[in-house]
Amino acid sequence: MSVVQFVFPLGPIARALIAVVLGASAASLAPSVEARITKIVLTGPTPVFANASFGTVGAYEQFDGTAYGEVDPLDPLNALIQDIALAPRNSNGKVTYTTRVVIQRPVHLNQGNGSMLLEIVNRGNRLNPTFYNVGATTATPQGDGFLENQGFTLVWVGWQADLVAPTGVDLVTMSAPVAHSVGEDDPITGPVRAEFIITSPAPSLNILDDSSSNTPGYATAHSDNSRDTLTMRGHQNDPRVPILNSNWAYADCSTTPFPGTPDRRKVCLKGGFDSDHIYELLYTARDPIVMGLGLAALRDVGSFLRYSATDDLGIANPLAGGIQFTLLNGISQSGRLLRTYLELGFNQDEAHRPVFDGMQPHIGSVRNYINVRFSQPGRLAGTQHTEQQYPGPEGPLTYGDSLDSFTGKQSGLLDRCLATKTCPRIIHTMTDTEYWESSGAFDTVAPDASADVQIPDNVRIYQFSSTQHGGFSPVAPLTDAAKNNICTQLKNTNSYTYNIRALLVALQQWVASGKTPPASRYSSLARGTLVKPGALAFPVIAGVTGPNGLWNTRFVYDRGSRYVAADVSGIISTEPPKQLAVYPTLLPQVDADGNDVDGVRSVTLRAPLGTYTGWNVRRAGFSQGDSCDLIGAYIPFAATKVARVASSDPRLSLQERFGSLTVYTSAVIAAAQELASEGLLLPADQAAAIASAVSQAAQAGLK
Q: Give CA separation, 260 vs 194, 202, 204, in Å.
A: 20, 13, 9
pLDDT at position 21: 33
Mean pLDDT of 508-517: 98
Per-residue pLDDT tens digits for 607-633: 999 999 999 999 999 999 999 999 999
Least confident of 9-18, 284-293, 497-506: 9-18
- Identify whether the C-beta of residue 569 lies closer than 8 Å to the C-beta of residue 344: yes
Per-residue pLDDT tens digits for 374-414: 999 999 888 999 999 999 999 999 999 999 999 999 999 99
Per-residue pLDDT tens digits for 63-113: 999 999 999 999 999 999 999 999 999 999 999 999 999 999 999 999 999
What whole-number distance in Å separates Cα of residue 264 and Cα of residue 236? 26
Residue 700: CA count within 13 A, CB half-sphere: 29
pTM of the model: 0.94
pLDDT at position 12: 34
Check pLDDT > 80 for residue 19.
no
- Identify whether the C-beta of residue 452 lies closer than 8 Å to the C-beta of residue 444: yes
- Identify whether the C-beta of residue 637 lies closer than 8 Å to the C-beta of residue 701: no
What whole-number distance in Å separates Cα of residue 362 and Cα of residue 379? 17
Check pLDDT > 50 for residue 166.
yes
What whole-number distance in Å separates Cα of residue 242 and Cα of residue 79? 40
Check pLDDT > 70 for residue 5.
no
Check pLDDT > 60 for residue 442.
yes
pLDDT at position 254: 95
Confidence of residue 185 (pLDDT cuts 50, 70, 90): low
pLDDT at position 22: 31
pLDDT at position 139: 83
Check pLDDT > 50 for residue 439.
yes
Confidence of residue 137 (pLDDT cuts 50, 70, 90): confident
* Size (the chain), residues: 703
Q: Strand, coil or helix: what is 305?
A: helix
pLDDT at position 183: 60
Q: Where are the alpha helices (DSSP H) in 601-685?
A: 603-606, 641-646, 654-657, 661-677
pLDDT at position 546: 82
Mean pLDDT of 281-300: 97
Least confident of 22-31, 200-209, 314-323: 22-31
Check pLDDT > 50 for residue 287.
yes
Closest to 690 measured CA to CA, from 537, 518, 360, 674? 674
Higher pLDDT, 364 or 8: 364
What whole-number distance in Å separates Cα of residue 283 and Cα of residue 208? 12
pLDDT at position 14: 35
Neighbours of 342 (CB within 10 A): 25
pLDDT at position 654: 98
Check pLDDT > 70 for residue 6.
no
What whole-number distance in Å separates Cα of residue 327 and Cα of residue 331? 14
pLDDT at position 15: 33
Confidence of residue 20 (pLDDT cuts 50, 70, 90): very low
- Identify whether the C-beta of residue 633 lies closer than 8 Å to the C-beta of residue 613: yes
Mean pLDDT of 324-347: 98
What whole-number distance in Å separates Cα of residue 4 and Cα of residue 39? 5
What whole-number distance in Å separates Cα of residue 237 and Cα of residue 231? 13
Give me the amino acid identity at 414.
L
pLDDT at position 267: 98
Per-residue pLDDT tens digits for 586-598: 999 999 999 999 9
pLDDT at position 381: 83
